[in-house]
Structure 1
Amino acid sequence: MKKSLLLAVLGLTFSLAACGQAEEKNNKDIKQSEAQTDEQGSGEAAISNSFFEVFDGKIDHIHGVGYSGNQGKPFYAAHDGLKVYDGGKWYKTKEENNDYMGFNATKDGFYTSGHPGQDSNLPNPLGIQKSTDDGKTLQELAVEGETDFHLMGVGYENQVIFLMNPQKNSIMETGKFYLSEDNAKTWKEVSANGLDDTLLSIAVHPQKADYLAASGQQGIYLSKDKGKTFERISKSGQGTSVFFTNDSLIYGTYDGTSKLTKVSLSDETEEEIALPKMNEDAVMYLAQNPNNDQEMTFVSFNGDIYYTTDGANNWNAIVEAGKIK
């Protein structure tokens, strides 16, 4: 069961339990789509190591998106491995088709949690892992075999990790928020005052460790003190997504209509980012190319994926309800 958008009294009601996480954890018999052998197109960099192959199947159960390894192409973390969109073509990993949760792209690769795929020898759950080779190999950072983190944010350049721990493990207490500034070697509990909400996602500023954000049932929250305190900054609606650029926070909300807002971190001015027409749907995961602010992509709750190369003036639907167009 993929994450669903639940409508109730003209509002969204989000909860992590509704994500079907237990089902995803145990369901390892998902049929893989047949791969093609076409090696043309601009995706050569993604498949040069023979770890990716052209893909034309179904993409669902997405748990994150980002520009991994500063390669200029979006990576989508799914329950059955990584998918990459490049030059109008889709690619998927041939091996390590893991159920990636808490996925965060960084300048040199990605951080993730989740569960191993059928073809993986990794322990279950993954704890916190890092990859610098597009997922071909993963490096254990913390609590491997102990915890699956769904709410985890990592800075794109500073690689500060901020997370909520869902269950007690060897270094963290249940339901507490933690921050690491040394690549998961040490952790400190943060009070997260003001973040008393059912959360959907969290994010870390790419450079400044002070800035953290979260989306929740009651709205969008911003911290400027490494998670000690959070302030709700959205004016209305339920929070659906958060994403930091160097100078702004881009966040999604829903109040009967899906909205995407960009707020300046320097002067707090806001501007609305145009979205395509969406029927009872909202932005779940969003990423902007760190080398080109005109290029963005987002995943919706209904399983659609949109992509723009002109700063959201025009959005191209590249996946509809999990089906590649």
Structure 2
Amino acid sequence: MNNKAFVAILAVGLLLTACSSSNEIKESQEMDDNYNIEHVHGLAYSSDNSIYIATHEGLIVSSNEGEKWKFAGDADLDLMGFHIQSDGTMLTSGHPGENSDLPDPVGLLESKDNGKNWESIALKGEVDFHLLTSNESNPATIYGVIQMESGNFESGIYKSIDKGISWDKLGVSGLPKDLHEIYALVSLSNNENVLIAGTSEGVFRSEDGGQTWKIADENRIITAISAVPNSKELISYSITEEEAGMMKSEDNGLTWEKISLDLGKDAVAYFAVQPNQTNKMVAVTFENNLLISSDNGLNWREVMEGGKLKN
């Protein structure tokens, strides 16, 4: 597909996954078959083999690879920027639900018990990060993207080196002016100062911790990117004029090899990899399809179609 045409389709998908009010939460009860998930804003595959999906209605979890699902806790949250760190800490931003006493936006929250309880870390009532990522080797280093001005915080990429307690705004020189056009962001596990951003204008790279950016590949769109734990590998959903699909890089994102999963007019929004069994991975698409692989991404099994769970 022509890259410009795909960007237009992707823009519609991103608009549909913008913030909206959440439904009333159901306290950790098992979900029925065909339970409908409207929007997904993050994905995680934990070391205990559980898969987590961050939604407008809260955090849901499957401990049996998609056969059954339930809410991970009773927190009434519209989770945005959801991210699980290499030490198992969960991070999220977003908005409170009707039954929450948190301010809007919630700032940065963390959970040490797999989403059962959340603690406010910083920026309460000030910031809504739509993207959060941290360095695998040094989880104290966290990057967050604010796509729209929020109170005293301008839109931009922000960095914390103390687990999210304090934040500094980075330069965005070279990146698209509209930060909604940043689809994915990753910090290289072997060098926390090297960042790769997938955008509507191509792939950008920073070698100085996000202060300055240069175009690395103007002919490639990356909609999702993830570091493979305990390795130097990256996986992405990558689109060029010639091909599209899940791709792997073994040279810090300089070159990519296609593995599988050409989704046509759809694309992967989030990848997650099981940290102790990296052959296992999960992907969710912009059309709300959830896919699971147990063979390094060669073959995929669908467990959610159009937001409807297949229990």
Following superposition, the deviation at residue 141 of structure 1 comes to 1.7
Contact 2:234 2:252 in 1 (8 A): no
* Residues 192, 209 of structure 2: 8 Å contact kept: yes
Task: State the distance in 2 between where 1:267 and 1:162 align.
Answer: 18
2:51 corresponds to which of 62, 68, 74: 74
Q: Tell me the TM-score normalised to structure 1 length.
A: 0.80
Shift of 1:122: 1.9
Residues 85 and 103 of structure 1: CA distance in aligned 2, closer, same or farther (over 3 Å):
same
- Amino acid corresponding to residue 304 of structure 1 in structure 2: N
Q: Say if 2:291 is the partner of 1:314.
A: no
Moved more, 299-308 or 205-214: 205-214
Q: 1:77-119 CA deviation, whole Å, 9 max, x = no partner? A: 1111112122232222351131100111112221110011233
User: Is 1:60 the counterpart of 2:12 in the alignment?
Assistant: no
Distance 1:53 1:81, change over 3 A: same
Aligned partner letter, 2:58? G
| 8 A Cα contact 2:13 2:287, kept in partner | no
Q: Give the 3-state SS of the residue equivalent to 2:283 in structure 1.
A: strand
Residue 157 (structure 1) shift: 5.0
| 1:203 maps to amino acid | V
Aligned twin of 1:210: 193
What displacement does 1:20 show? Answer: 4.1
For 2:79, the equivalent position in structure 1 comes to: 100
| Residue of structure 1 equivalent to 2:101 | 121
Q: Which moved more, 1:116-125 or 1:285-294?
A: 116-125
Q: How many residues align?
A: 295
Match of 2:6 among 1, 11, 15: 11
For the residues of structure 2 that align with 1:223 and 1:250, how far apart are their CA atoms? 18
Q: Once structures 1 and 2 are overlaid, which stretch shifts more, 256-265 or 108-117?
A: 256-265
TM-score, with length taken from structure 2: 0.84
Offset from partner CA, 1:271-295 (integer Å, 9 cap, x none): 21211x5341111111111111110
Q: Taking structure 1 as reference, are residues 140 and 252 closer, same or farther at Cα in structure 2, changes over 3 Å only? A: same
Choose the corresponding residue for 2:268, options 275, 283, 307: 283
CA RMSD in angstroms comes to: 2.7
CA-CA distance at 1:10 after TM superposition: 3.6
The AA in structure 2 aligned to 1:238 is I
Tell which deviates more after alignment, 289-298 or 216-225.
Answer: 216-225
* Per-residue Cα deviation, 1:206-261 (whole angstroms, up to 9, x for no partner): 56421322221022223232112334334634331121224022222335763222
Flag structure 2 segments of 5+ consecutive residues without an equivalent: none
Identify if the C-alpha distance between structure 1 residues 189 and 237 changes in structure 2 by more than 3 Å, giving closer, same or farther. same
Alignment of 1:102-181 (within 5 A): 102-106=81-85, 107-156=87-136, 158-159=138-139, 160-165=141-146, 166-170=148-152, 172=153, 174-181=154-161
Change (3 A) 1:78 1:258: farther
Q: Relative to structure 1, is the Cα distance of residues 315 and 322 closer, same or farther in structure 2, using a 3 angstrom cutoff?
A: same
For residue 204 of structure 2, the aligned residue among 221, 241, 259 is 221
Q: Secondary structure at the match of 1:135?
A: coil
- Compared CA separation, residues 114 and 16, structure 1 to 2 (3 A): farther
Give 1:45's aligned residue: none
Change (3 A) 1:258 1:302: farther
Residue among 204, 224, 239 paired with 1:241: 224
8 Å contact from structure 1 (residues 16, 200) kept in 2: no
Equivalent position SS for 1:54: coil
Compute the displacement of 1:148 (Å). Answer: 1.2
Does structure 1 conserve the Cα–Cα contact (< 8 Å) formed by 2:93 and 2:107?
yes
Which residue identity does 1:66 align to in structure 2?
A
Offset of 1:185 from its aligned partner?
Answer: 2.7
| Alignment partners' CA distance in 1, 2:209 and 2:39 | 30
| Percent identity of paired positions between Structure 1 and Structure 2 | 27
Which runs of no fewer than 5 residues in structure 1 stay unpaired? 1-6, 36-50
Structure 1 residues 186, 212: closer, same or farther in 2, change over 3 A?
A: same
> Residues 264 and 318 of structure 1: is their aligned pair in 2 closer, same or farther, counting only changes over 3 Å?
same
Give the residue type in structure 2 aligned to 1:77: A
Kindly provide the CA deviation profile for residues 151-197 of structure 1, in whole angstroms up to 9, marking residues without a partner as x.
32223452221123321444x4x123221111123323322333236
